[in-house]
Amino acid sequence: MNDEIKSCHTGANYLTSGGDSMLGLLLPWAGLSVACLFFAGIPLWVFFSHFFLIEIPAGISHPNRLRVYHCLFELLFTWGKILEKMNICYRSKLICFAQDLLPLKKDPDVVVTDLCFGTIPVKLYQPRSSSRTLRTGILFYHGGAALIGSLRTHHDICLTLCKESDSVVLSVGYRKMPKYKFPVAANDSMAATIHFLKSLSAFEVDPARVVVCGDSMGGGMAVLMCQKLLMYPHLPKIRAQMAIYPALHGLDFQSPSNQQNNVPFLPRNFAIYCLMTYLSIDPSWERDIITGANLPPEIHEKYRKWLGHENIPERFKKKGYRPKPVAPLNENAYHETHLLLDGIMCPLVVEDEVMSQMPEAFIVTCEYDYLRDNSLLYKKRLEDLGIPVTWLYVEDGFHGALSTLDKNFMNFPCSQRIMNAMVDFIKGL
């Protein structure tokens, strides 16, 4: 009997040790399979589900380049979502990490210096050649919805702007999501702007020729800085503002461009996701925001004089636009999305008393842009108040086009046209 028990134990030990050995053999293969799925399977899925299915408007030159950009972004975003669900890394961190791997272009004619204004990182671009006179100073605020842009992603833009316009450029590295949300980006930008304006002599900048400039969210930031600086009359006045396809409000998502455009780099779902994440709004209110059910009728009526679609030229309403009634008010949505009404988020709808004090403007509007109507409405507001506006309409342009500048074979011709117009505007000041 004892022999039988001993035999059973021996057999069990053999099976156990054999199972451990088998498990030891299977685990590496399982890990390898997961790695293959992550690094090979997902890219293939993204490529076949997006490259051929994404609709690129016929008016955009080099559509396959935009498809490649779209696929790369979707791949990083998908990887990021997986890592985020596994509590390994935020998706925005992964995208920024990949963007920061891109090499920084160098130019012997421009001196680039990394500085900190307090705790805020900035990049200073100065022409290497000496000048007998003080130069124009440009404060640049990068786009990326406070989620994915950085000092590095907009390095080529600032470098080119410095060299071609013979200006001193200061790029502001405000803190971003996911760790820093509303209103940190605006507060950082304001702090850096004030620091720069107080230090113009150190940077050999003419106090009478300071320009604020930005793209996308950065374009809205440039407008906001002009408005906020009105409270600091002792500082040098801003000479001009440059808003490149700016984000200027989040109060209406049924405008013609919202209905017409769902194009990389700013598809509809990503635009709404960035806005709601920045303001810490629960995703369940997305439909109410899109339909306007989150705002009371009196708010819609108050801002209609500035946001009404009748203010948009008819030629921008010809394709794919259908006026839609505002949905009935959802009071719960209103209370949870009220930050959309904050002045920091809506520089387009400040009162005339403030808007009438805005400096001369340079505005870029791209046809295939989800936010196209922001710049059209802003242009009209300024012109109605008698403020000079230089307007560049890029018929084959899309949101984010300027960021492809100097990207070699992945460059879009419209990016150079935008830069040329920016340089001409600055030189004409």
Domains and CATH numbers, the chain: 2-99 (no CATH), 107-250+341-427 (3.40.50.1820)
pLDDT tens figures, 257-295: 999 999 988 999 999 999 999 999 999 999 999 999 999
Tokens 């008016």 belong to which residue? Answer: 59
Dihedral sign (CA 6, 10, 12, 13) = positive
**CA atoms of 205 and 167, how far apart (whole Å):** 8
Angle at 190 between CA 189 and CA 193, to 5 degrees: 85
Alpha carbon of residue 409 to chain centroid: 23
Closest CA to 171 of 115, 237, 107: 115
- pLDDT of 185 higher than 90: yes
Q: Any residues with CB less than 8 A from the CB of 93 and at least 6 apart, and which?
A: 80, 178
pTM of the full predicted structure? Answer: 0.90
Q: Which whole-number Å values give the CA distances from 290 to 137, 299, 312, in the listed order? A: 39, 15, 19
Residue 109: pLDDT band with limits 50, 70, 90: very high
Dihedral sign (CA 92, 160, 420, 357) = positive
Closest CA to 244 of 103, 18, 399: 399
Closest CA to 284 of 336, 348, 358: 336
- pLDDT of 212 higher than 80: yes
Residue 125: pLDDT band with limits 50, 70, 90: very high
Q: For the sheet containing 135-141, what is the strand order?
A: 110-117, 120-127, 168-172, 135-141, 205-215, 240-244, 360-368, 389-398
Query: Residue 205: what pLDDT?
Result: 98
Query: Residue 98: what pLDDT?
Result: 81
- pLDDT of 361 higher than 90: yes
Query: Residue 36: what pLDDT?
Result: 52
- pLDDT of 255 higher than 90: yes
Query: Residue 80: what pLDDT?
Result: 80
What the block records as the tokens of 93 is: 């961190």
Residue 33: pLDDT band with limits 50, 70, 90: low
**CA atoms of 402 and 166, how far apart (whole Å):** 19
What the block records as the tokens of 94 is: 């992964």
Q: Per-residue pLDDT averaged across 248-263, rounded?
A: 96
Q: Per-residue pLDDT averaged across 36-63, rounded?
A: 77
Tell me the residue length of the chain: 429
Angle of helix 372-384 relative to helix 297-307, nearest 10 degrees? Answer: 70
- pLDDT of 2 higher than 70: no
Q: Which residues are catalytic?
A: 216, 369, 399
What the block records as the tokens of 247 is: 């984000």
What the block records as the tokens of 196 is: 């720069």
- pLDDT of 197 higher than 90: yes
pLDDT tens figures, 199-210: 999 999 999 999
Stated as kind and residue range, the H or E segment containing 341 is none
pLDDT tens figures, 76-93: 888 888 888 888 887 778
Task: Select the more confidently predicted residue: 56 or 12.
Answer: 56
Alpha carbon of residue 51 to chain centroid: 22
Locate the DSSP E strands across 22-82.
none
- pLDDT of 20 higher than 70: no
Out of 62-71, 221-230, 247-256, 387-396, pick the least confident: 62-71
**CA atoms of 392 and 400, how far apart (whole Å):** 15
What the block records as the tokens of 31 is: 């890990």
Cβ–Cβ under 8 Å, residues 144 and 153: yes
Query: Residue 16: what pLDDT?
Result: 43
Neighbour count for residue 167 (Cβ, 10 Å): 24
Q: What's the CA dihedral at 150, 154, 158, 160 to 10 degrees?
A: 160
Burial class (CB in 10 A: 0-12, 13-18, 19+), 189: buried
The mean of the pLDDT values for the chain is: 90
**CA atoms of 26 and 6, how far apart (whole Å):** 30
Q: What share of the chain in percent tops pLDDT 70? A: 90
Q: Any residues with CB less than 8 A from the CB of 349 and at least 6 apart, and which?
A: 249, 251, 303, 306, 307
Query: Residue 103: what pLDDT?
Result: 83
Closest CA to 216 of 65, 420, 402, 52: 402
What the block records as the tokens of 218 is: 């950065």
Angle of helix 155-165 relative to helix 413-427, nearest 10 degrees? Answer: 40
Biggest alpha carbon–alpha carbon distance for the chain:
107
Stated as kind and residue range, the H or E segment containing 362 is strand 360-368
**CA atoms of 11 and 56, how far apart (whole Å):** 66
